[in-house]
Amino acid sequence: MAESTHDWGKHKKSYLIVFGALCFCTCLTLALGIFAPFDLGPPGPTPADFVIGLAVACFKASLVGLIFMHLNHERGLIYKLLVFTFLFSLGLMALTLFAGADPILEQYDTLESTKGKLMEKL
């Protein structure tokens, strides 16, 4: 087996800090999903809850990518890909917010409230 010459001692502190941050963010996501005082808006999942959850997940993914995958030492193309990924995640959050104004959902709620009487043939 090949000998590893990588010095883990100088990275151990940053790995432990990132591990603590990931644990904190996981507890934060759990608290936002379970406990009522952290719930934004009416009870149940709302678009704001999804956006906050996705933002925490993006932060956690960036920590893993930058520290554990050593992307913070890369140059050029990697940063362009990271910016594209960040903009893509912002677009997904915007789509989540726009889903609240979906007219198909409103028609489904109308169908539920009339118990299918709108679908009967005259």
Radius of gyration, CA atoms only, the chain:
22
Retrieve residue 59's tokens.
């932060």
Where is average pLDDT lowest: 7-11, 20-24, 90-94, 102-106? 102-106
Going 71 to 76 to 80 to 81, the CA torsion angle's sign is: negative
For residue 93, give Cα distances in angstroms to 25, 49, 57, 72: 18, 11, 12, 25
Residue 62 has pLDDT above 70, yes or no: yes
The whole-number pLDDT of residue 116 equals: 61
Q: Tell me the domain boundaries of the chain.
A: 14-114
Going 78 to 82 to 84 to 85, the CA torsion angle's sign is: positive
Task: Pick the closest to residue 29 from 62, 53, 60 (CA basis).
Answer: 53
pLDDT class for 87, splitting at 50, 70, 90? Answer: very high
The whole-number pLDDT of residue 5 equals: 61
Phi, psi of 43 (to 5 degrees): -60, 150
Residue 63 has pLDDT above 80, yes or no: yes
DSSP state of 69: S
pLDDT class for 109, splitting at 50, 70, 90? Answer: low
Residue 105's contacts (CB-CB under 8 Å, 6 or more residues apart) are 99
The whole-number pLDDT of residue 107 equals: 58
- The three-state secondary structure class of 52 is helix
